[in-house]
Chains A and B, each alone.
Chain A
Amino acid sequence: LAPELFDVDDFGQAIVVGDGTVPEELADKARLAVANCPEFAISVLDAEPDASGA
Chain B
Amino acid sequence: VTSTGHETTHDRAASLYGPVTDWATDFDHADPAYNERVHEIWAELRDTCPVAHTDRYHGAWLPVTHADVTRIAYDTENFTSRSVVVSTAPEIFAMAPIGGAPPITSDPPFHHHARRLLLPPFAPKQIEPWEADVEMLCNDLIDTMGDAEVVDAAMQYAQHIPVNVIARMLGFPLEDADIFRGFVHDVLEGINSSPEVRHEAFERLDQYIDAQIKDHADNPRDDLTGYLMNAMIFDQPLSHEHVRGSIVLLLVAGIDTTWSAIGSSLWHLASNPADLVRLNAEPELWPFAIEEFLRAYAPVTMARMVAKDHDFNGCPMKVDEWVLLPFPAANLDPLAFDRADEVLIDREENRHAAFGLGIHRCLGSNLARLELRIAVQTFVKRFPQFSLADTMPVTWSVGQIRGPRKLPIAVGKRAARG
Contacts and interface: CB of A to CB of B under 8 A. Distances in A.
Interface of A: 1, 8-13, 32, 35-39
B64 interface: no
B349 interface: yes
B355 interface: yes
Contact of B351 (A11, A13, A38): A38
Interface stretch (B43-51, B115-123, B174-182, B222-230): B115-123
A10 B122 CA distance: 9
A13 B348 CA distance: 22
B164 interface: no
Nearest to A40: B351
Contacts of A35: 348-351
B123 A9 contact: yes
A10 B351 contact: no
23 contacts: A1-B287, A8-B124, A8-B125, A10-B120, A10-B123, A11-B119, A11-B120, A11-B123, A12-B119, A12-B120, A12-B122, A12-B124, A13-B119, A32-B348, A32-B349, A35-B348, A35-B350, A36-B291, A36-B350, A36-B351, A38-B352, A38-B355, A38-B357
A22 to B, nearest CB: 17
A46 to B, nearest CB: 20
Contact of A38 (B349, B361, B363): B361
A28 to B, nearest CB: 9
B366 interface: yes
Contacts of B122: 12
Nearest to B127: A12
Contacts of B351: 35-38
A36 B287 CA distance: 12
A13 B171 CA distance: 26
A9 B124 CA distance: 9
Nearest to A9: B123
Interface in B227-286: none
A35 B336 CA distance: 13
Given A10-B125, A11-B116, A36-B350, 16 more contacts: A8-B125, A11-B119, A12-B119, A12-B120, A12-B124, A12-B366, A13-B119, A32-B349, A35-B348, A35-B349, A35-B351, A36-B291, A36-B349, A38-B357, A38-B361, A39-B361
A53 B287 CA distance: 42
A38 B351 CA distance: 6
Given A11-B116, A32-B348, A38 B125 contact: no
